[in-house]
Structure 1
Amino acid sequence: MDEQTALVLALQLVALFSIAGALLVYLLCKIRASNGPEAPGSSPGGGKAVLVTCADNCVGLQIAIHLANRGFRVFAGLKDGASSGSPDDSVSSRIIRAWQKYRESLVGPCHGALVALPLDVTREDLLHEAVDIIRAHLPAGEDGIWAVINTSGLSYRGRLDQQDIAHWDAILKTNVVGVLRTARTFQGFLRSASGRLVNFGVSHGDEAGLVAYTASRYAVEGASNALRKELEPAGIKVVTLNLARVTPEMMFVSPRLKTNEGEGEISVDMGGCIEYQPVVLSKHSLRVLDVAVTTGTPKQSYDLTPMKQWKPVHFIKSIIV
């Protein structure tokens, strides 16, 4: 083999390895994209259906709006309207309607959607009605939910010897039995989409005055571990989210809209934001939530952190992007 032939052969080998390397990088990027959160401004939801069981509290409302902004078709349960069958009067429902109007005003395609429906995890009839409502809103040919996120919760603070036993019953009925009812009701939907059930687990830093509530959170943690093994053959993942240093009052407090001083009127800025308080989850927590919801093989649990500084006297703007 002469020197010129050897040089040509070497150049061909270099080109071949370059092409192979480029293909390998491309495949790695595709795998990473399918198993992780998308970059800001993209639409990782792709119109996938997600149920947030309660948007009457601040953590549920924030999660519902965030996922809708990220391109998911979010069904947000509103307990306040469950008795009348029409969730139209609560603060959360007004915030959701403002979000919907804002999205309608945008130019260009909007992949996300936010649909309110009456839902109470302690009522079997409303759970089954929710199935029918969701099925009616799914695109033709679809019959599955990508994720069911249990944000329903209840707590009472006080010394054990001073609490009414009825409070314990209400906590367990909502926080524990409600999770089990939800899992059973939407198991078929999740199986169809190889979806995931997302529950709030144990918060770090147990404190006095929350004995019954803490017991319910440990019960949900244990139930999630057992459900994970039971539902795995059906292709359903079970994920727990743990919040550190956040009180249940902060998680489950009802959102409040900003009002004009002296007028008592609702002030909703339609220029791109809705003003309400409080906002519970930090930007970092929302990124972790994105991973838990979008990744193809989620971990069993994720730790979320609350807002570093939460001042109830101030209103926080939830930006719609």
Structure 2
Amino acid sequence: MQAIASQAMDEQTALVLAVQLVALFSIAGALLLYLLCKIRTGSVSELSESAPGAGKPILVTSCDNAFGLQIAIHLANRGFRVFAGLKDGEASGSSDDSVSSRVIRGWQKHRESIQGPGALVALPLDVTREDLLHEAVDIIRAHLPAGEDGIWAVVNTSGVSYRGRLDQQDISHWDAMLRTNVVGLLRTARKFQNLLRNAGGRVIAMGAADDLGAGLVAYAASRYAVEGASGALRQELAPAGVKVVTVNPHGIQPEMLFAAPKLKEKQKQLETSVEIGGCLEYQPVLLTPRALEILDVAITARSPKTNYTLQEKLWAKPLQLLRIV
């Protein structure tokens, strides 16, 4: 009888311990979930109107691609004065029927009708052309309020990519990628260095993603060159108060990053389109709302990290997610 009673007590004790362990893990899980939510919302709280840079001028170097166009319109909607770089004819009017130009004009018209904050100014810009970079500086200075001579951020969205096996790819494609992706970044940083210094601004460069796949050896080389150049540039410009930040568009193939936007057809209501203030809609839309929040932090945080990942990895564990917010 004593053995039976002892066994029953042991089973009861084990059951109590199991219930306690389940309760303990449930509490720990709830605390971890609460911490994650606080961190995610906390990063967004940095984007208040009192944050440095709010409402200030920002240059997005290329809005000819869907990536740059989405960023420019997002920042303009947040109240920044955004200068949207377009290839030489598209901003000057000789070829103003491009999708990017039409979307920008639609946004401007809508913003005028509601008299909302923010501004979007198209200007001719090609990061491979020194003359257009020089002209862009003059245009931006002419649009700055009296007494101001600085720009808060230069967001480098210019780039090209060519996919192909290394032993079959045309070497001219290598030259084009290095000239635009790497040298274009350096040209832009040098040309806008004084304006950035005057405002204590920052350079936002597009870094490397770790999931490019086959056929992008030369493109990957150009992106990792940007990472290395950004690190050296960060040290060089730090004494002048200019920050350098890289953002990694994880999960977005280069062909999509640099794809020209297309207007959404009314007959094809695709989920990948976006409505711009009730005006024109275009596709593809590459950055999720969460990715745009992370970009906002990179642009407005008082002490930004050196690197941000714009797209969360689906396989990331909770502790890994802490590192990207």
Q: Is 1:99 the counterpart of 2:107 in the alignment?
A: yes
Select which of 158, 169, 174 maps to 1:168.
174
Q: How many angstroms does 1:111 deviate by?
A: 2.3
CA pair 275-216 structure 1, distance change in 2 beyond 3 A: same
Tell whether the 8 Å contact from 2:164 to 2:216 is kept in structure 1 after alignment. yes
Q: State the Cα deviation string for residues 56-112 of structure 1 (Å, max 9, x = none).
A: 0011000000000001000000016269675623110110000000001105xx220
Tell whether the 8 Å contact from 2:106 to 2:279 is kept in structure 1 after alignment. no
Corresponding residue of 2:37 = none
Tell whether the 8 Å contact from 2:61 to 2:127 is kept in structure 1 after alignment. yes
Corresponding residue of 2:197 = 191
Corresponding residue of 2:236 = 230
Corresponding residue of 1:64 = 72
Tell whether the 8 Å contact from 2:66 to 2:258 is kept in structure 1 after alignment. yes
Number of equivalences: 269
Corresponding residue of 1:50 = 58
Q: How many angstroms does 1:245 deviate by?
A: 1.5
CA separation in 2, counterparts of 1:103 and 1:45? 21
Identify unmatched segments of 5+ residues in structure 2. 1-41, 269-273, 315-325
Select which of 73, 76, 100 maps to 2:81.
73
State percent identity of aligned pairs: 68
Q: State the Cα deviation string for residues 104-124 of structure 1 (Å, max 9, x = none).
A: 1105xx220000000000000
Larger helix proportion, structure 1 or 2? Answer: 2
Corresponding residue of 1:256 = 262
CA pair 132-193 structure 1, distance change in 2 beyond 3 A: same
Tell whether the 8 Å contact from 1:282 to 1:307 is kept in structure 2 after alignment. no
CA pair 43-230 structure 1, distance change in 2 beyond 3 A: closer
CA separation in 2, counterparts of 1:269 and 1:228? 36
CA separation in 2, counterparts of 1:143 and 1:307? 40
CA separation in 2, counterparts of 1:62 and 1:260? 20
Q: 2:246 aligns to what SS in structure 1? A: strand
CA pair 64-246 structure 1, distance change in 2 beyond 3 A: same
Tell whether the 8 Å contact from 2:107 to 2:277 is kept in structure 1 after alignment. no
Q: How many angstroms does 1:44 deviate by?
A: 7.8
Tell whether the 8 Å contact from 1:121 to 1:174 is kept in structure 2 after alignment. yes
CA pair 86-44 structure 1, distance change in 2 beyond 3 A: farther
Q: How many angstroms does 1:205 deviate by?
A: 1.5
CA pair 43-301 structure 1, distance change in 2 beyond 3 A: closer
Q: Is 1:149 the counterpart of 2:159 in the alignment?
A: no
Which one-letter code corresponds to 1:36 in the other structure? E
Tell whether the 8 Å contact from 1:72 to 1:112 is kept in structure 2 after alignment. yes
Q: How many angstroms does 1:260 deviate by?
A: 4.7
Q: How many angstroms does 1:246 deviate by?
A: 1.2
Select which of 188, 191, 201 maps to 1:182.
188
CA pair 307-96 structure 1, distance change in 2 beyond 3 A: farther
CA pair 74-34 structure 1, distance change in 2 beyond 3 A: same
Once superposed, what is the RMSD of the aligned Cα atoms? 2.7
CA separation in 2, counterparts of 1:189 and 1:152? 19
- Please say which of residues 80-89 and 280-289 is displaced more in the overlay: 80-89
CA separation in 1, counterparts of 2:275 and 2:290? 25
Question: Normalized against structure 2, the TM-score is what?
Answer: 0.77
Q: How many angstroms does 1:273 deviate by?
A: 4.3
Q: State the Cα deviation string for residues 239-274 of structure 1 (Å, max 9, x = none).
A: 000111210011110000023559xxxxx9787243
Q: Is 1:122 the counterpart of 2:128 in the alignment?
A: yes
Q: How many angstroms does 1:238 deviate by?
A: 0.2
Rg (Cα) greater in structure? 2
Q: 1:115 aligns to what SS in structure 2? A: strand
